[in-house]
Structure 1
């Protein structure tokens, strides 16, 4: 990127967006947050608190933040736009960027799923659009807690598609490690394998660490990953290594006895004890989840390739039912999630 002060717009300042934007602002970057009215009001009144798994606790006072609920204010002056909305709002945000941003802006998708960058590109014919991947969980404090706090509950480096010199240097700051990757398609499919667990956290209502510590839930995750790997192989998709192990070995690791899994998967279990998934949060707030962009993406591959995916179908149906009920997490037991026939144990 050309030298000089760059303005970074966070397009969708929810949990991830507030954390990313907060870290950048604390590092002295020029940042403007585009937020929903509730978050806009909270940040203007009391500022933003940034905490993480490593024990850091930093506060940005209201006068240290630039925040708005108006796209016409946030987007026109941006040199870089980081898109952090849920996948279901991708086309809406693309239309706002097209209407308000400069044609030479760099747009980075920091969203779950595998096709959001392509969906942005379908609308944004002028701006450079790059795929990105956020590996960590961010938990937002309850609305009653002020200042609003966003807490990074796990570790990892944000990966961004290579191709714009200087972009990673702009974004790589304390609390927000960033790097580039030459094959973001592989990275996004590798991350999606791990994101198949989001639905299990949502259905169980358990914190992520507690859910992963229970082999019964891990067997369901392993079964989903088996189905996903079969569909990917049949479709010529090669997922990248994300969690330290080659993707093909993840199901075997997940099926280990609890004591051995805890011993060997310390990196996977390095999670804040209270962290849950964004899909759980969506159910709690009565919002549409990203099940269609996660399990649904694999089901699309499986259907085209003709590979079976009964467990992915079962999990998807249960999440859809919970969305319709609008009663929050259904608090299911693992036996209520597995399809007829029980778990595969080896």
Structure 2
């Protein structure tokens, strides 16, 4: 048994199983608070972790603890929150109910509202916002595959938490202005919906100039809303947020040379929203495009790209038929129709 911190991954899906599994494989005491389906897969097949660079790790179910009962939080020194944004408040209540003051809680979630929700319920905890820059795909039978690169980033604080949890295969760093980086990741995540609607692997979508141009329009629209609120997103890459739309609009040969780091992903990787839509699960569209739309409405600004994406994703979720494989021209047409309707 490890004499280090006891870690509970609260809401262990693809990201949680991958991160928790690597921590367990390095000797940490890890409990995965997961759905019965995920537990059954791991108990039957073990936990297999792979990545696009060739890493392959397999852990037996004996090397970590699986739990479906929130009372496992009572033993936690560190809680890694990896639930979807819509489940954050419920998880915050569970953490507040079962953990003492001072327990370290790290939010490794998409969207910008999760830290505030956690803080409402956990005012005496050591709460850190964080971001996960890479994509993890659930392959089935307890296998989780990291399809892109990047280091975990968490909000700075006491106890050098990042150093305690960093691994060769899972580097974690602390950053003083985590909010600016989160906004940068937020802008990147706006493509999750477009990727889901396209049905394309992410790399193929990024190599298609028409899709990149729509991505650029969406990015520029959201960035203008953030600028109006005096929000300045920061990127973990050398390219400033304000230049990303111009980069995306470049001809493909030039784009692939300049943005080679963006293309260092598995050829078949898709975004988490594409995975959710394919599996007929609710998506996090409200925490992404919904956030842009609400802020724009408060400012009295029009957001035709964002509005269109919200409409079409709503239809796709309601249809429950998986990935719609829409051409980019269909989304452009729907956006124009929405604008005409507003004018009428």
TM-score, length basis structure 2: 0.94
1:209-234, CA deviations, whole angstroms, 9 ceiling, x for partnerless residues?
A: 01111011101100011101110111
Q: Does 1:218 align with 2:216?
A: no
Secondary structure in 1 aligned to 2:217? Answer: helix
| 1:239 matches 2:251 | no
CA distance in 1, matches of 2:276, 2:254: 33
Tell me which of 323, 336, 339 is aligned to 1:340: 336
- The alpha-carbon deviation at position 126 of structure 1 amounts to 2.6
8 Å contact 1:10–1:34 — kept in the other structure? yes
Corresponding residue for residue 314 of structure 2: 320
Alpha-carbon distance, 1:138 to partner? 0.4
Give a deviation string over 1:159-214, Cα, whole Å, max 9, x none. 10001222111221132111011111111110011101100111011110011110
Equivalent residue number for residue 21 of structure 1: 20
RMSD (Å), alpha carbons: 1.4
* 1: CA distance, partners of 2:328 / 2:184: 24
Measured in 2, the distance between the counterparts of 1:209 and 1:242 equals: 19
- Contact kept, 8 Å, 1:154 with 1:271, in 2: the verdict is yes
- What is the match of residue 49 of structure 1? 48
The SS at the match of 2:287 is: coil
- 2:187 paired residue among 193, 203, 208: 193
Aligned to 1:117: 115
- Mapping for residues 1-346 of structure 1, pairs under 5 Å: 5-72=4-71, 74-142=72-140, 146=141, 148-338=142-332, 339-340=335-336
Normalising by structure 1, we get a TM-score of 0.94
* Distance in structure 2 (CA, Å) of the matches to 1:177 and 1:334: 36
- Alpha-carbon distance in structure 2 between the residues aligned to 1:174 and 1:71: 30
Q: State the shift of 1:44 in Å.
A: 1.9
- SS of 2:286's partner is coil
Where structure 1 has 5 or more consecutive residues not aligned to the other structure, the ranges are none
Whole-Å separation in 2 of the counterparts to 1:118 and 1:189 = 14
Rounded to whole Å, the distance in 2 between the matches of 1:276 and 1:33 is 24
What is the SS of the residue equivalent to 2:127? strand
Kindly provide the CA deviation profile for residues 118-140 of structure 1, in whole angstroms up to 9, marking residues without a partner as x. 11111223322110000000001
Following the alignment from structure 1 to structure 2, what is the Cα–Cα distance between the partners of residues 71 and 341? Answer: 47
Cα distance in 2, alignment partners of residues 103 and 236 from structure 1? 34
> Do the aligned residues in 2 keep the contact of 1:27 with 1:174 (CA within 8 Å)?
no
